[in-house]
Amino acid sequence: MNKINARLKGFYCLHCGERFRVADYLTGCLSCQQKSLPVSLAPYYQGTGRIKNNQERMFRYGEFLPYPDFPSLGEGSTPLVKVKRLAEKYRLNLLYVKNEFQNPTASHKDRMSPLVIARAIALKRKIVSAASSGNAGVSLAAYAALTGLKCKIITQPNINPIWKRAIEKMGAEIIYTASSEERWTFLQERVQKEGWYPATNFITPPVGSNPFGIQGYKTIAYELYQDLQGQLPDWVLIPTARGDLLWGIYQGFKELQEMKKFNKFPRLVAVEPFERINKVLAGADYRLDFAGDYRLTPSVGGTTVTYQSIQAVKDSKGCAVNILPEEAEANINEISSCGLYLESSSALLIGALKKLLKQGLFSENDCVVMVATSSGYKDLPQI
Ligand SMILES: Cc1ncc(COP(=O)(O)O)c(C=O)c1O
Ligand SMILES: [Zn+2]
């Protein structure tokens, strides 16, 4: 267990292309950093991997992951649900929900945590940590509990008590900082001075979450490809904060496109509570701080974007859609009427679907997938 994938050859800088050997570059490319350029890195692999259909869940895609064998709570292989009622209403023949809340801690983060933990174990680290007010914290706590690692979740005092209880029950320690920004400085200090292994971002402008972990999100792309009988969807709608999930899914599709020689590429839509990616696409500097109200959809909150999420949206010929959090309740009602009770942040997908339909972007036979990242059981009733 926790043996590194021999195909993984290193990391490359998305901006200058410089290649680095396999290691942890948690603050990105040094030469680009010195010039205040984008610093994000992504892994690259040698040769072609194989999907192993005789294996279960995410292990099927082990040859595409940095650690093919990782601690598991049964994550992945989530259902692709055909939402017939919505499909009829909106005249889309192929409308699906990828139901990520069927993961062990009821969010997509369970595809990232096992790989972060596998890396931490390989490095013989004893403490893993995340700056998170929700799903990432719960998920990391669960996989740390599974493997006996210590887990520290850095959050703010206003953390939703549902997540707080889950994190504590799974034995992780919660550390409070007064502001969201202080979570990052606190984590950075512990990583650099005490060797805590981080699952999440801690620098500004953000470089994104742990790249070993983000590789886990590629499995969503692989599962969609297999569930759609060897086809790629036309559109994938993704609830987005800083864009880790979007970037991971993009990398998965990119590998599939190269491997299977697809002419087409799914158009990725970042669904956000207010304009961040949208502003950058319209010309704003991606390093800016984007103010907006996300109290009703905290899981896709935050005021920053990542360079790679912008690249992924642009390269896929996708777009960003911002849905006012006030619309969350109506969106929750609409998707719940199909039997899928989503966290408010995920329910914004419905608003995005309607907005794109209004813009006439879909044709009747387009395959549209909405990635439902988390369950409505996590929302407080006052939402
Ligand atoms: C429910 C939910 N949806 C989506 C996201 C996507 O966030 P990101 O764009 O940072 O990957 C998150 C992450 O915190 C989340 O908790
Ligand atoms: Zn660089």
Domain-by-domain residue ranges, the chain? 80-107+213-378, 109-211
Question: Can you tell me the distance from the alpha carbon of 201 to that of 327, in angstroms, rounded to the nearest whole number?
Answer: 29
CA–CA separation, 212 and 67 (whole Å): 8
3 Cα–ligand 2 center, Å: 28
Give the ligand with the smallest distance to the CA of 20.
2
The two three-digit tokens of residue 169, written as one number: 């029950």
Nearest protein Cα to ligand 1, atom 4: 239
pLDDT at 383: 54
Domain 109-211 has CATH 3.40.50.1100: yes
Alpha-carbon span 57 to 62, nearest angstrom: 10
Give me ligand 1 centre to Cα 135, in Å.
8
Atom of ligand 1 nearest to the CA of 245: 11
Pocket test for ligand 1, best of 250, 300, 304 (most atoms within 8 A of CB): 300
- Angle between helix 161-169 and helix 135-147 axes, rounded to 10 deg: 10
> What phi and psi values does residue 37 have, to the nearest 5 degrees?
-100, 170
Q: What is the predicted pLDDT for the residue at 172? A: 98
**Atom 7 (ligand 1): residue with closest C-alpha?**
241
DSSP assignment of 160-218: -HHHHHHHHHTTPEEEE-SSHHHHHHHHHHHHHHH-PEESS--SSS---S-HHHHGGGH
Which ligand has the shortest distance to the CA of 34? 2
Cα(188) to centroid(ligand 2), Å? 21
Would residue 34 be called left, alpha or beta, if left means φ above 0 and alpha means ψ between -120 and 50 degrees?
Answer: alpha
3-state secondary structure of 10: strand
Query: Would 80-107+213-378 and 109-211 be classified into the same CATH topology?
Result: yes
pTM, two decimal places: 0.98
Q: Which amino acid is at 35?
A: K
Q: Which residue has the tokens 């192929």?
A: 94
Name the CATH code of domain 80-107+213-378 (choices 3.40.50.1100, 3.40.190.10, 3.30.300.30, 3.40.30.10). 3.40.50.1100
What are the pLDDT tens digits along the chain (383 aa)?
779 999 999 999 999 999 999 999 999 999 999 999 999 999 999 999 999 999 999 999 999 999 999 999 999 999 999 999 999 999 999 999 999 999 999 999 999 999 999 999 999 999 999 999 899 999 999 999 999 999 999 999 999 999 999 999 999 999 999 988 899 999 999 999 999 999 999 999 999 999 999 999 999 999 999 999 999 999 999 999 999 999 999 999 999 999 999 999 999 999 999 999 999 999 999 999 999 988 889 999 999 999 999 999 999 999 999 998 889 899 999 999 999 999 999 999 999 999 999 999 999 999 999 999 999 999 998 65
Residue 134 Cβ inside 6 Å of ligand 1? The answer reads: yes
Query: Which protein residue's CA is at the shortest distance from atom 14 of ligand 1?
Result: 299
Nearest atom within ligand 1 for CA of residue 107: 1
- Shortest-distance ligand to the CA of residue 18: 2
Ligand 1 binding pocket mutation candidate from 103, 138, 153, 240 (most atoms within 8 A of CB): 240
Sole residue written with tokens 């006439």: 360
Q: Tell me if 244 CB under 6 Å of ligand 1.
A: yes
Q: Are strands 367-372 and 319-322 parallel, antiparallel or unpaired?
A: unpaired
Ligand 1: nearest atom to the Cα of 309: 9
Give the CA angle between residues 177, 181, 186 to the nearest 5°.
Answer: 55
Best residue among 102, 108, 215, 272 to mutate for probing ligand 1's pocket (most ligand atoms within 8 Å of CB) is 108
Identify the nearest ligand to the CA of 347 by its number. 1
